[in-house]
A and B are shown apart, each in its own frame.
Chain A
Amino acid sequence: MKEKEGFVDCPEQQMILYVEKENGQFGPMQTGSYITKNYIDDYFDKRKNLEQSLHEQIKKGEISPVKFFMVWEDLTERELAARTNIPLRKVRKHLLPHYFNNLSADILQRYAIVFNVSVKQLQQADATTKALNEESAKP
């Protein structure tokens, strides 16, 4: 790739791209992210729709807040079990509202740490704060 083709004006997400300079030497140039510059709105639209769809499932009693955040943060059941140090078979139960409502403070705290939210946000499946933060930070 030629240096002049590599430039993307996106100060919010800078990166290093290796390019062919005018003198034929290959080397680094600092530039911006193409996908962030051109498609970030699409990403946020999808996140909003995902949040809405998961909230609807919670309202219908189909999933628990743990499942909500697991999908939101793109984690597998196994990965969530390993990160919380909770057995996989228990994590699978906690994805259902019935079991979630009886969780101890310690277990809730473990999930909250992995999802980087407060226990209150976890209980309310409140990704809204996170979504709003994401939205306000967008380029």
Chain B
Amino acid sequence: MTTIPFNHKMGAHCESGTVTSLVNHAGLDLTEPMVFGIASGIFFGYFHKHRSFTFPTFIVRNRPGDMRKNIQKRLGVKFNTFSFSREEEGMKKLDELLLQGIPVATQVDFYYLDYVPSWERAHVNVHFMVVIGKEEDDYIISDSYFPKPERLKEESLRRGRFAGGNMAPKGFLFYTARVPEQPDLRRPILKGIEKACFNMLSLPVPFIGIKGIRLFAKRVVDWPTFARDTEHLSHEVMKINILLEDQGTGGAGFRYMYATFLQQASSLLHNPKLKELSQQLMTIGDGWREISLFAARIGKNRELGPEKLKELSTLIMDRADVEEKFFKELKKSIK
């Protein structure tokens, strides 16, 4: 078996990058920010206690899998999807599709990807990437977090695809079956924005959206009670930087990528207000970036007393206030 000719591109995020690469390969010219925006990717959720997390944490994108589903629903793209209870069956199906020359997206546990540097690896069951070939015992992977296609041993891919635990991948595969020719993006863009505003402003859940950012701000001062020691607390506080910047967000917890989407949407919809809002969101993103850098700095210096955590809390609370105003304006701008 050889490698399918595939235009490998880096992406900010694994799911939006994977979906973008697949639809581009099928002939639909969309940017990653457009996929992210139409799919209502922007989000916030804070988890103070969760059975799968050892420490309080937060998310800045919608539920894994929703980007693919929303693109399918709103743009009329058809993805064929498969899950498997038996490993052999799942590996066989992947090989069959590759033999037919079809690039296949897979869901894996990030931890088993040999090409990922050790310090980046973590058990996260919702990493998406495209398998584009097989050469001897190695699969060829187009992973949007890496500058070039990588090789992955069959055993590692198998372990990643069939890892257990929270959101277990169950060998999940998908590929593009059909894309629309020159789709009208206007309605999908409006739908995407509308749902994003709903998620950020109106979901009746106390830890989601703007309410989630406020909860994060209030509870971050309690983080020392969860830590084994100062170094553990430092590690977790520094992870704020990783979650906002490094874990595939395009910077500032997806705020920069969403600003890019709004700028592109503004020209497509001939809506100058969206352009103004895109600029506003870029500035809001700079505030999140400030939080990232602050968290990294106090973590490194072990300045983790109540005063510094209070300062961190104030910075986060300020983001909640400006984002509430922003999303209300965004909602109005598409009425």
> What chain B residues lie within 8 Å of A123 (beta carbons)?
none
Per-residue interface assignment for chain A, residues 72 to 87, with 1 indicating a CB less than 8 Å from any chain B CB and 0 otherwise: 0111101100111100
Query: Is the pair A1, B234 in contact by a Cβ cutoff of 8 Å?
Result: no
Interface residues on B, range: 35 or more
Q: Which of B52, B159, B234, B278 contacts A26 (CB 8 A)?
A: B278
Query: Is the pair B166, A34 in contact by a Cβ cutoff of 8 Å?
Result: no
Asked if B309 is an interface residue, CB under 8 A from chain A, the answer is: no
A42 to B231, CA, bound (A): 10
Query: Is the pair B119, A42 in contact by a Cβ cutoff of 8 Å?
Result: no
Shortest C-beta distance, A114 to chain B (Å), equals 8
> What chain B residues lie within 8 Å of A76 (beta carbons)?
51-54
Given contacts A39-B238, A50-B231, contact A13 B10 (CB under 8 A): no
Query: Is the pair B159, A113 in contact by a Cβ cutoff of 8 Å?
Result: yes
Interface centre among A19, A27, A35, A83 (most CB of B within 10 A): A35
> What chain A residues lie within 8 Å of B172 (beta carbons)?
none
Interface centre among B33, B119, B296 (most CB of A within 10 A): B119
Per-residue interface assignment for chain B, residues 280 to 306, with 1 indicating a CB less than 8 Å from any chain A CB and 0 otherwise: 001001100100110010011000000
Asked if B147 is an interface residue, CB under 8 A from chain A, the answer is: yes
Query: Is the pair A16, B245 in contact by a Cβ cutoff of 8 Å?
Result: no
Query: Is the pair B123, A75 in contact by a Cβ cutoff of 8 Å?
Result: yes
Shortest C-beta distance, A35 to chain B (Å), equals 5
Query: Is the pair B250, A82 in contact by a Cβ cutoff of 8 Å?
Result: no
Query: Is the pair B33, A18 in contact by a Cβ cutoff of 8 Å?
Result: yes
Per-residue interface assignment for chain A, residues 102 to 113, with 1 indicating a CB less than 8 Å from any chain B CB and 0 otherwise: 000000000001
Shortest C-beta distance, A117 to chain B (Å), equals 12
Asked if A97 is an interface residue, CB under 8 A from chain B, the answer is: no
Shortest C-beta distance, B335 to chain A (Å), equals 24
Interface centre among A15, A25, A116 (most CB of B within 10 A): A15
A46 to B237, CA, bound (A): 13
Query: Is the pair B296, A39 in contact by a Cβ cutoff of 8 Å?
Result: yes
> What chain A residues lie within 8 Å of B317 (beta carbons)?
none
Among the 9-residue stretches B88-96, B134-142, B179-187, B251-259, the one with 4 or more Cβ atoms under 8 Å from chain A is B251-259
Contacting residues of chain B (85-138) with chain A, CB-CB under 8 angstroms:
111-112, 117-120, 122-123
Shortest C-beta distance, B169 to chain A (Å), equals 12
For A11, give the chain B residue with the smallest CB separation: B147
Shortest C-beta distance, B127 to chain A (Å), equals 15
> What chain A residues lie within 8 Å of B293 (beta carbons)?
34
A119 to B118, CA, bound (A): 20
Asked if B27 is an interface residue, CB under 8 A from chain A, the answer is: no
Per-residue interface assignment for chain A, residues 17 to 31, with 1 indicating a CB less than 8 Å from any chain B CB and 0 otherwise: 111100001111010
Shortest C-beta distance, B318 to chain A (Å), equals 18
Asked if A118 is an interface residue, CB under 8 A from chain B, the answer is: no
Query: Is the pair A16, B11 in contact by a Cβ cutoff of 8 Å?
Result: yes
A83 to B54, CA, bound (A): 15
For A30, give the chain B residue with the smallest CB separation: B10
Asked if A33 is an interface residue, CB under 8 A from chain B, the answer is: yes
Asked if B145 is an interface residue, CB under 8 A from chain A, the answer is: yes
Shortest C-beta distance, A70 to chain B (Å), equals 9
Given contacts A46-B234, A79-B52, A84-B164, contact A36 B246 (CB under 8 A): yes
Q: Which of A1, A14, A34, A49 contacts B282 (CB 8 A)?
A: A1
> What chain A residues lie within 8 Å of B32 (beta carbons)?
28
Shortest C-beta distance, A9 to chain B (Å), equals 14
Query: Is the pair B251, A6 in contact by a Cβ cutoff of 8 Å?
Result: yes
Give A contacts to B, CB under 8 Å: 1, 6, 12-20, 25-28, 30, 33-36, 38-40, 42-44, 46, 49-50, 73-76, 78-79, 82-85, 113-114, 116, 130, 133-134, 137-138
Q: List 13 A-B contacts (CB under 8 A).
A: A1-B256, A1-B286, A6-B251, A12-B117, A18-B33, A18-B257, A27-B260, A33-B245, A36-B246, A42-B234, A76-B53, A85-B164, A116-B112
Q: Supply 16 further A-B pairs (C-beta < 8 A) apart from A18-B250, A46-B234, A79-B52.
A: A12-B117, A15-B12, A17-B251, A18-B259, A20-B282, A30-B147, A34-B246, A35-B246, A38-B296, A50-B232, A75-B54, A83-B123, A83-B165, A116-B159, A130-B118, A134-B118
Return the 3 tightest CB-CB contacts between A and B, nearest first.
A18-B256, A26-B260, A134-B118
